[in-house]
Amino acid sequence: MLDKDVALKAAGLSSTELADCVSVLWRLHEAEESGILDPNANCLRPLRKILSIHLHKTYSHLPQKSAIDESERRRAEKDRKRERRQRQLEADKRFQENSQLRASRLAKLQALEEEDAGMLKGQLRIPDGPSMEATCEGAEGEGGADEVEQEYCRQQACYICKVRFSERHHFYSHLCPACASLNFEKRNQARDLSGRTALVTGARVKIGFQVATKLLRMGARVLATTRFPQDARKRYMAEPDAEQWLDRLQIIGADFRFLAGVEAMCLQLRRREQYLDIIVNNACQTIRRPAAYYAHLLHEEAQPYPSLTRGPLLQLESSLAESLADEALSLPPSGMGSSAALSQLLVLEEDRLKEEAVALPAGARDVNGQQLDLRSTNSWLLKLGEVETPEAVEVFCINAMAPFILNSRLRPLLESSPHPDRYVVNVSAMEGKFYRYKQPTHPHTNMAKAALNMMTRTSAEDMAMSSGIYMNSVDTGWINDENPLPTAQRIAESHQFQTPIDEVDAAARILDPVLGGMEAVASGYVMGRRPRKGAGVEERDSGPMWGCFLKDYKPTEW
């Protein structure tokens, strides 16, 4: 017997009765279709009732038509929202790419790739470097006021204050209107620095270069230190307005990894210079590069030093520094200055490798004119047990000990200044801040920046009170992705990432306590009165700032 017959028998029915029921229902259906019988007729009410009960129990677990329609509506609405969001994201991306900072970086990158003419096609590069197109008239330049008035489709998060905003700025893509206005104003801030002399360390490229050129354009005389003075000379002379200030620039060859040479430089400066007004301790080692990274600079550095128009190059004549250079392994020709020669000293095993072995393709440069470094790992990713001792020593020498020596040994030159206000800026970073969560990587650079901050915290009051020397630490802001280039390029491509500010903004942050202090003095501040001090100070009428750790132009916690 079939299973269905068993079930029917259990229900007290037979297959014949079931067949008769189906036959009756079909005949009713045909009568309704032909119009002979009204399906709503009262005589069919008992049938409709029992069928309704049966169908409800049978199909209650299945979606009804109304439910199916609602599901389709929701799915369609979700698709429309997704498409609308995608259109908004694409529109916002276009808006961001049209901001002057991002657009100029992309243009520089494209120009560099076209200049290579395909010889280095496929090399990893990222949109980086400063935008030199920003002026106070920039808001009314290309794009005009209408461009500025447009808003983002979706709210953005401000890099500085984290507030959500929609209004676009003609230059910055990731700053809210208030922060963008302040930063653009500070970016173009200037004062007459005629008669002032400044020492800027690490002034060949990037932040240090921008600090030095800002000071030169404001009328100051600048002593710029670098390991590669010939390359620095070429970079300064390439500036379009170089003839206006080259006579006030002097380039000093020095390698801050060797403290005896730093001491010798200070001694020589005290003999040669009458006074200093400003010291900017900018030189820093964050990512250690192998010796081969600098190989392309050596030929030029070995050439005789021509004069910088009227401002000569100064290669230190320290016998200690020269003896270190003579003892270095695999040195270039002896005519090279000692600071450049020391770059080839074999300190770590990676310094012995050839360019190809450490992914340094010959002739490949980034947008800053620096050698491309295609290594898959670097100092930024190293944990405590992975940092070699010589690298940690180098970092402390450059980032902390050299500023310590310069600030202490050159203090007499600062005190000899004919101007009543003098300034020291220790260029620091958030890595040296205790009130901030730390990743387990690059502990040596964190330690060195913390040490630099402690020098400011400890010595600023004495220097301000006794000598009118105003010392502060300054965070430059996020201008570089320190990840290895393959990682940085992947992030840049997948997220259209660029750092929110550039080297010119960093230079403006560094010089702000100097220019702000001079403004306070010029506005009638009486020297000898107790100046401003400490985090949270907001008054602009209490003299030059000192003893502060400045981030985004404001004092922050240590």
Residue 219 has pLDDT above 90, yes or no: yes
Average pLDDT over residues 407-417: 97
Average pLDDT over residues 247-251: 94
Q: Which of 188, 212, 228 is the last residue of a domain?
A: 188
Consecutive H or E run containing 210 = helix 206-217
Q: Are residues 322 and 368 in the same domain?
A: yes
Bridging pattern class, strands 545-546 and 532-533: parallel
- More confident position, 498 or 457: 457
The answer to whether 228 and 297 have CB atoms below 8 angstroms apart is yes
Residue 144 has pLDDT above 50, yes or no: no
In this prediction, residue 326 carries a pLDDT of 47
Residue 41 has pLDDT above 50, yes or no: yes
Q: Are residues 283 and 145 in the same domain?
A: no
The candidate with the shortest Cα–Cα distance to 495, out of 96, 87, 84, is: 96
Asked if residue 84 belongs to a domain, the reply is no
Q: Are residues 361 and 499 in the same domain?
A: yes
- More confident position, 283 or 496: 283
Q: Are residues 202 and 178 in the same domain?
A: no
In sequence order, the 6+-apart residues with CB closer than 8 A to the CB of 281 are 201, 402, 403, 406, 407, 424, 425, 426, 427, 452
Mind listing the pLDDT tens digit for each residue in 75-119?
888 888 888 888 777 777 777 777 888 888 888 888 877 776 554
pLDDT-based confidence at residue 526 (cuts at 50, 70, 90): low
Residue 141 has pLDDT above 70, yes or no: no
How far from each other are the two terminal CA atoms of the chain, in whole angstroms? 90
Q: Are residues 404 and 300 in the same domain?
A: yes
Asked if residue 221 belongs to a domain, the reply is yes
Could you please report the per-residue DSSP string of 390-445?
A: HHHHHHHIIIIIHHHHHHHHTHHHHHT-SSS-EEEEEEE-GGG-SSS---SS-HHH
The candidate with the shortest Cα–Cα distance to 510, out of 470, 467, 468, 476, is: 476
pLDDT-based confidence at residue 320 (cuts at 50, 70, 90): very low
pLDDT-based confidence at residue 163 (cuts at 50, 70, 90): very high
In this prediction, residue 539 carries a pLDDT of 47
Average pLDDT over residues 11-19: 82
The candidate with the shortest Cα–Cα distance to 181, out of 129, 138, 146, is: 138
Residue 279 has pLDDT above 90, yes or no: yes
Q: How far apart are CA 185 and CA 292, in angstroms?
A: 41
Q: Are residues 343 and 380 in the same domain?
A: yes
The answer to whether 537 and 545 have CB atoms below 8 angstroms apart is yes
The answer to whether 455 and 402 have CB atoms below 8 angstroms apart is no
Q: How far apart are CA 525 and CA 133, in angstroms?
A: 35
Q: Are residues 331 and 290 in the same domain?
A: yes
Mind listing the pLDDT tens digit for each residue in 147-159?
444 788 878 899 9
Residue 29 has pLDDT above 60, yes or no: yes
Average pLDDT over residues 170-189: 92
Q: Are residues 139 and 209 in the same domain?
A: no
The percentage of the chain sitting over the pLDDT mark of 90, rounded to a whole number, equals 45
Average pLDDT of every residue of the chain:
83
Q: How far apart are CA 437 and CA 267, in angstroms?
A: 40
Q: Which of 164, 188, 212 is the last residue of a domain?
A: 188
Counting the structural domains of the chain, the total is 2
Please give the sequence-ordered ranges of beta strands (E in DSSP) within 168-218, or none if there are none.
197-200
Asked if residue 9 belongs to a domain, the reply is no
Q: Are residues 111 and 249 in the same domain?
A: no
Identify the residue whose tokens are 């320290």: 318
Structural domain of 111: 89-124+133-188
In this prediction, residue 121 carries a pLDDT of 54
CB crowding 477-493: b at 16 or more within 10 Å, else e? bbbbbbbbbebbbeebe
Pick the range with the lowest mean pLDDT from 194-203, 372-381, 493-502: 493-502
Q: Are residues 406 and 456 in the same domain?
A: yes
In this prediction, residue 333 carries a pLDDT of 39
Asked if residue 8 belongs to a domain, the reply is no
- More confident position, 313 or 491: 491
Q: Quote the tokens at residue 97.
A: 């790419």
Q: Are residues 197 and 179 in the same domain?
A: no
Asked if residue 535 belongs to a domain, the reply is yes
Average pLDDT over residues 380-391: 94
Pick the range with the lowest mean pLDDT from 120-129, 285-294, 408-417: 120-129
Asked if residue 17 belongs to a domain, the reply is no
Mind listing the pLDDT tens digit for each residue in 192-209?
999 999 999 999 999 999
In this prediction, residue 182 carries a pLDDT of 95
Average pLDDT over residues 472-480: 94
Consecutive H or E run containing 236 = helix 229-237
Q: Quote the tokens at residue 376.
A: 């898959």
In this prediction, residue 113 carries a pLDDT of 73
Asked if residue 280 belongs to a domain, the reply is yes
Instruction: Give the 3-state DSSP-derived string for 113-146, with helices as H, strands as E and coil as C.
Output: HHHHCCCCCCCCCCCCCCCCCCCCCHHHCCCHHH
Domain harbouring 413, CATH code: 3.40.50.720
Q: Are residues 105 and 201 in the same domain?
A: no
Asked if residue 57 belongs to a domain, the reply is no
